[in-house]
Amino acid sequence: MKVEKRLNAAYGSNLNLEQMAMRCPTAKVYGKGYLKGYRLLFKGREGSAYCTIEKKRGGKVPVLIWELQPEDEKALDYYEGYPRFYEKEDVKVTLEDGTTPQVMVYIMTDKIIDRIHLNIPSRSYLETVKEGYEAAGFDLKFIDDALAISEKAIMKHPPKYL
């Protein structure tokens, strides 16, 4: 019986080749491209926010597409806290060669109060994401824009401490 390949669009720390080699040793890079109609955001607690995406007309998010084996997807489910922290959606991406495969993407849920607020990531998480962007040849402007959105939200609604 032939196993269908499962494609996953990575836009955050799973762009990092070193991290993915540890998490999903049998995953292979399939291609890269853009997820159109979305924007990149950081959500979570202060100093502990993680990448997510949300629908945005005219937006686009660079993605690295991974070909996953079933064990890889199970490992990613664990690392992404699926289904509690991240949900899975099937979306179409536009690859560099113009093809538009359907891929699975993890999107942060809005079910947990600590995960719904725009915020700033830890320095180490941000560096992991930036390394992945640089290795894939993506413009860091997408990360800068996501950070600016978080900073603006924090200035508008500063966190309340008890």
Tens digits of residue pLDDT in 71-130? 999 999 999 999 999 999 999 999 999 999 999 999 999 887 766 889 999 999 999 999
Percent of the chain, pLDDT > 90? 83
* CATH number for position 88: 3.10.490.10
134 is an active site residue: no
pLDDT of residue 21: 97
Does residue 50 belong to any structural domain of this protein? Answer: yes
Between CA 145 and CA 10 the distance in angstroms is: 18
Helix or strand or coil: residue 69? coil
Judged by phi (left if over 0) then psi (alpha if -120 to 50, else beta), residue 81 lies in left
Could you tell me if residue 1 is inside a domain?
Answer: no
Question: pLDDT exceeding 70 applies to what percent of the chain?
Answer: 94
Residue 5's pLDDT band (boundaries 50, 70, 90)? confident
The DSSP code for 129 is H
Full residue range of the structural domain in which residue 150 is found: 6-156
Query: Residue 114: what are its φ and ψ, rounded to 5°?
Result: -70, -10
Catalytic residue among 4, 67, 71, 80: 80
Write down the pLDDT at residue 34: 98
Q: Output the pLDDT for position 103.
A: 98
User: What is residue 162's predicted lDDT score, i.e. its pLDDT?
Assistant: 39
125 is in an annotated binding site: yes
38 burial via Cβ count (<10 Å: 0-12, 13-18, 19+): buried
Is residue 161 one of the residues assigned to a domain? no
In a domain, 12, yes or no: yes
The count of structural domains within the chain is 1
Q: Is residue 162 part of a domain?
A: no
Residue 65 lies in a domain: yes
Greater pLDDT, 154 or 82:
82
108 occurs within a structural domain: yes
At residue 3, the pLDDT reads: 54
Quick check: is 142 in a domain?
Answer: yes
